[in-house]
């Protein structure tokens, strides 16, 4: 596998739009976390038909498909997610049934297998999933989590992972320099020497809120140093994150809070922008003009314009500023963040940053 970057998407409207439009090709491999049965409740198609059609049309060599066991549904979680978690994600037989339904797309689809041990108390869940799926799919991915590493690593080692399978080690939001990471990674490198290994970490943690952003300034709590550590310090083949946006708790809803998080590829940091009042018009009146005139954008324009040329996220900002596209939408700016981040990472890949 040639892929350097594995962007993680949730099954939500803006993520789906980006998945359909962005040219990932062979150096970037998207991972889709399926968090609900359908993209919209009134869609007459079955969930398998919906996901099948999407995977077929994503411009990438492979697509990883995950039923994210790490989710912890609460009373504030979307009802659709709670139902899907109980019905499929945490149910061993239903997980296997869900993945098996993609057998005719097995050359592109890579099921992501996780242990259910710490969620349901069931043993040998990795082995049962692997046994059922390995004869169907040429490649499987195995997701190991930092937070339950000691409870599950022996189960992973004894599963019989093939050399062609992918190992995903998910740090969640654990600081990248945590000394325990090195210990766990040494165990992974020792036990899975021939596998393609991906280090995953969410750069924008759940505590970062739009209302607390300092306008036009660096977000100190957002840490994207994974892109420098994954290989140089930890000898992994690839890295993965949540595409420049926050890994939230899948909330049922929220109020108006105009805010925008933008990646600066030159310094590898994130900048925050927020409105002066809680009105959607602040995206057009305050955030967009301040982004365009920011020192970050001016610096990129003068020193490294390839980060903006062909950047669909930034092009949307320019259209909003020219009044040729509406901008009164929090969801749209989430999409802009993702498109901008993906373009910047792809540019870095193409220009040899990760060589």
d(CA 16, CA 63): 13
Kindly write down the DSSP assignment for every residue of 53-114, as one continuous string. HHHHHSEES-EEEE--TT----TTB-HHHHHHIIIIIT-HHHHHHHHHTTGGGTTTEEEEE-
Query: What is the full DSSP assignment across 246-307?
Result: -----BS------EEEEEETTTTEEEEEE-SSS-THHIIIIIHHHHHTSHHHHHHHHH-GGG
Identify the H or E element spanning 125. helix 125-133
Per-residue pLDDT 10s for the chain (355 aa) are 789 999 999 988 899 999 999 999 999 999 999 999 887 778 888 888 999 999 999 999 999 999 999 998 888 888 989 999 999 999 999 999 999 999 999 999 999 999 999 888 999 999 999 999 999 999 999 999 999 999 999 999 999 999 999 999 999 999 999 999 999 999 999 999 999 999 999 999 878 888 889 999 999 999 999 999 999 999 999 999 999 998 877 776 667 889 999 999 999 999 999 999 999 999 999 999 999 999 999 999 999 999 999 999 999 999 999 999 999 999 999 999 999 999 999 999 999 999 8
Measured in residues, the chain has a length of: 355
The pTM (predicted TM-score) of the whole model is 0.95
Q: What is the pLDDT of residues 261-284, one digit of tens each?
A: 999 999 999 999 999 999 999 999
Tokens of 176: 């990248």
Separation CA 183–CA 180 (nearest Å) = 5
Q: How far, in Å, CA of 63 to CA of 61, rounded?
A: 7
Tokens of 338: 């993702």
Nearest to 8 by CA among 154, 182, 226, 160: 226
Which three-class secondary structure state does DSSP give residue 142?
strand
CATH number of the domain located at residue range(s) 5-350 in this protein: 3.20.20
């Amino acid at each position: 596998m040639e892929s350097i970057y594995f962007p993680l998407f949730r099954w939500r409207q803006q993520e789906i739009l980006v998945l359909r439009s962005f040219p990932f090709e062979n150096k970037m491999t998207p991972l889709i976390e399926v968090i609900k049965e359908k993209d919209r409740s009134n869609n007459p198609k079955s969930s398998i038909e919906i996901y099948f059609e999407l995977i077929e049309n994503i411009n990438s060599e492979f697509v990883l498909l995950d039923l994210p066991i790490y989710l912890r549904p609460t009373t504030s979680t979307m009802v659709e997610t709670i139902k899907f978690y109980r019905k499929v994600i945490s149910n061993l037989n239903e997980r296997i049934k869900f993945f098996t339904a993609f057998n005719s797309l097995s050359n592109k689809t890579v099921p992501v297998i996780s242990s259910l041990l710490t969620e349901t108390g069931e043993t040998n869940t990795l082995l049962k999933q692997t046994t059922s799926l390995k004869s169907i799919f040429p490649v499987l991915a195995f997701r190991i989590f930092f937070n339950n590493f000691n409870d599950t690593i022996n189960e992973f080692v004894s599963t019989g992972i093939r050399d062609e399978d992918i190992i995903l080690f998910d740090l969640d939001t654990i600081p990248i320099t945590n000394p325990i990471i090195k210990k766990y990674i040494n165990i992974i490198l020792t036990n899975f020497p021939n596998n393609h290994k991906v280090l995953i970490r969410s750069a924008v943690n759940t505590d970062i809120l739009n209302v607390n952003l300092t306008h036009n300034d660096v977000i100190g709590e957002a840490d994207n140093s994974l892109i420098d550590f994954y290989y140089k310090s930890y000898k992994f083949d690839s890295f993965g994150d949540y595409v420049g946006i926050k890994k939230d708790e899948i909330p049922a809803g929220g109020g108006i809070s105009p805010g925008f998080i933008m990646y600066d590829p030159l310094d590898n940091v994130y900048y925050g922008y927020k409105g002066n009042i809680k009105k959607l018009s602040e995206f057009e009146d305050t955030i967009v003009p301040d982004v365009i005139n920011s020192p970050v954008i001016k610096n990129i324009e003068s020193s490294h314009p390839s980060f903006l040329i062909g950047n669909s996220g930034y092009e949307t900002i320019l259209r909003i500023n020219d009044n040729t596209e509406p901008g009164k939408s929090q969801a749209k700016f989430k999409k802009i963040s993702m498109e901008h981040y993906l373009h910047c990472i792809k540019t870095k890949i193409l220009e040899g940053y990760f060589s």
